[in-house]
């Protein structure tokens, strides 16, 4: 009797796991409207460590196609783009651009960016102390 209950529970879980794969998620990359302009060294860091979430040039990893991870990844990218989107930089006025640039430096300086849970699968996004200093200086927080 216990075996049959376990078997039923197992198959229910399998059906649910397969079924949730059909729930659509928005994994799109809208067109780049106008990218941020920064020194080449800064752009290289931004492209490597920030653009996957904070631009319209996201490289969607394999796990972004498997629910429920796909739900989390698309939500994180959507939230990140709403905070700062380097592909839509021209949509910000000069005051907003300055603020976002400073915010970028601040988040990097205090270790909030890149996010800790992003780094284990994207070790290339890890910032060295020198790169952190470059971003902080570029952001205008430090002369």
pLDDT higher than threshold 80 for residue 140: yes
pLDDT digits over 76-85, tens only? 999 999 999 9
Q: Three-class SS of residue 48? A: helix
Of 115, 116, 111, 119, the residue nearest 135 (C-alpha): 111
Higher per-residue confidence, 9 vs 107? 107
| Alpha-carbon separation of residue 79 from 9, 28, 76, 97, 116 (angstroms) | 35, 14, 5, 18, 16
Alpha helices in 24-68, H assignment, sequence order:
40-49, 51-54
The mean pLDDT value of the chain amounts to 90
pLDDT higher than threshold 80 for residue 43: yes
What pLDDT score was predicted for residue 84?
Answer: 96
Please, which pLDDT band fits residue 1 given cuts at 50, 70 and 90? low
The answer, yes or no, to whether the previous bond of 138 is cis (omega within 30 of 0) is: no
Q: How many residues does the chain have?
A: 143
Please, which pLDDT band fits residue 27 given cuts at 50, 70 and 90? confident
pLDDT higher than threshold 90 for residue 53: yes
CA distance 44 to 106: 19
pLDDT higher than threshold 70 for residue 68: yes
Structure-token pair, residue 99: 């603020």
Helices 129-139 and 94-109 cross at an angle (nearest 10°) of: 150
Assess contact for 106 and 73: CB atoms under 8 A: no
pLDDT digits over 92-131, tens only? 999 999 999 999 999 999 999 999 999 999 999 999 999 9
Please, which pLDDT band fits residue 2 given cuts at 50, 70 and 90? low
Contacts (Cβ under 8 Å, ≥6 apart) of 28: none
């Amino acid at each position: 009797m216990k075996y049959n209950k376990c078997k039923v529970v197992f198959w229910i879980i399998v059906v649910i796991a397969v079924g949730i794969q059909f729930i659509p998620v928005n994994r799109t990359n809208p067109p780049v409207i106008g990218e941020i302009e920064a020194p080449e060294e800064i752009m290289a860091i931004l492209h490597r460590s920030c653009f996957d979430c904070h631009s319209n040039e996201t490289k969607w990893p394999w796990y972004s196609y498997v629910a429920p991870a796909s739900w989390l990844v698309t939500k994180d990218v959507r939230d990140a783009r709403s905070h700062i989107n380097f592909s839509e930089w021209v949509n910000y006025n000069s005051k907003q651009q300055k603020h976002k640039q400073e915010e970028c430096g601040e988040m990097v300086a205090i270790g909030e960016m890149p996010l800790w849970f992003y780094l284990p699968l994207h070790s290339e996004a890890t910032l060295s102390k020198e790169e952190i200093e470059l971003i902080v200086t570029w952001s205008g927080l430090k002369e």
